[in-house]
Amino acid sequence: MEENLGCYAIELEDVSTYYYGEKRPAIRDITLRIPARVLVLIVGPNGAGKTTLLETILGLLRPRSGRVITLGYEIPRMASKARALSSYLPQDFMKSPAEPFTAREVVAMGLASNTPTGRLLEGNLRRVDHALKMLGMLEYADRPFGKLSGGQQQKVLLARAIAREPKLLLLDEPFSAIDQETRSYITSEIFPRLLENGCTILLVSHELNHSYMDADIVIRMVDGRIERVITRDVHAIH
């Protein structure tokens, strides 16, 4: 697929997004340029607009004003193209215990959505198992997803996001249920590999944990605005 990448993975200009019926914008006048292949950490208190920012970048929410370009595609007009190259792990991930699919099937679904017929090719199945293995979840591949623990479910969903080999990976509180050891493995082993392969990662978190110190850019949001941007050795944004 044609990538259509400019020099930035994400560009926002004066973007404000309102939820339906609300008088106050959830994010306001956001101007931001994120280069490709960087790890961006987005922090800030509850209600700061972190999730709204991610969903505006993907075109899941439509900004009332401003301009959004994601992976070179104008949002929301070309959002489906940008989304096909992206993986998004939403904040609320828990599935009901009655969820009928196995862990492997849940990961495979992430790939099926990008194939015209929705069918999985042999090579894709290998990708699925490779991603499960990376997250230490291969031995749970045939278990029903809904019967896994919260942390195990989160690992499976991370495996699904990674198996898609995205150009843009958006993770909203991905570690909330994941143990410290796995967290460190993901940030020190998996993220660098993704970045090397050209992926740009946006990670939302409440905490400024020491394991995030490898972030190239830290964005602090408060009350729908960007309060502070700290960059490390990357071309300035803001």
Separation of alpha carbons 233 and 109, rounded Å: 37
Size of residue set near Mg ion by CB under 5 A: 3
Query: Which does residue 127 bind out of Mg ion, ligand ATP, none, counting CB within 5 to 8 angstroms by kind?
Result: none
Size of residue set near ligand ATP by CB under 6 A: 12
Give whichever of 56 and 87 is closer to ligand ATP, judged by the CB atom.
56
Exposure on the CB side of residue 15, measured as CA atoms within 13 A: 29
Please state, as a whole number, how many other Cβ atoms lie within 10 Å of the Cβ of residue 16.
16
51 lies in the site for Mg ion, by CB under 5 A = yes
Least CB distance to Mg ion at residue 90 (A): 9
With CA atoms as reference, report the closest residue to 72 among 80, 64, 62, 82: 82
Query: Which does residue 26 bind out of Mg ion, ligand ATP, none, counting CB within 5 to 8 angstroms by kind?
Result: ligand ATP
Tell me, letter by letter, the H, E, C secondary structure of 21-56: CCCCCCEEEEEEEEECCCEEEEECCCCCCHHHHHHH
86 lies in the site for Mg ion, by CB under 5 A = no
Give whichever of 43 and 69 is closer to ligand ATP, judged by the CB atom.
43
220 lies in the site for ligand ATP, by CB under 6 A = no
208 lies in the site for ligand ATP, by CB under 6 A = no
Q: What is the DSSP letter of 138?
A: G
**Near ligand ATP in 59-98, by CB under 6 A:** 91
Calculate the alpha carbon distances from 203 to 1, 3, 88, 102, 104 in Å.
Answer: 25, 22, 10, 26, 24
Query: Which does residue 80 bind out of Mg ion, ligand ATP, none, counting CB within 5 to 8 angstroms by kind?
Result: none
Query: Which does residue 49 bind out of ligand ATP, Mg ion, none, counting CB within 5 to 8 angstroms by kind?
Result: ligand ATP
Nearest residue by C-beta to Mg ion?
A: 51
CA 200 remoteness from chain centre: 9
Angle at 64 between CA 84 and CA 53, to 5 degrees: 50
x/- track of binding to ligand ATP for residues 38-57 (CB under 6 A): ------x-xxxxxxx-----
Backbone angles phi and psi of 173, in degrees to 5: 50, 55
Q: What is the DSSP letter of 181?
A: H
**Site for ligand ATP, rule CB under 6 A:** 19, 22, 26, 44, 46-52, 91
Binding site for Mg ion (CB under 5 A): 50-51, 91
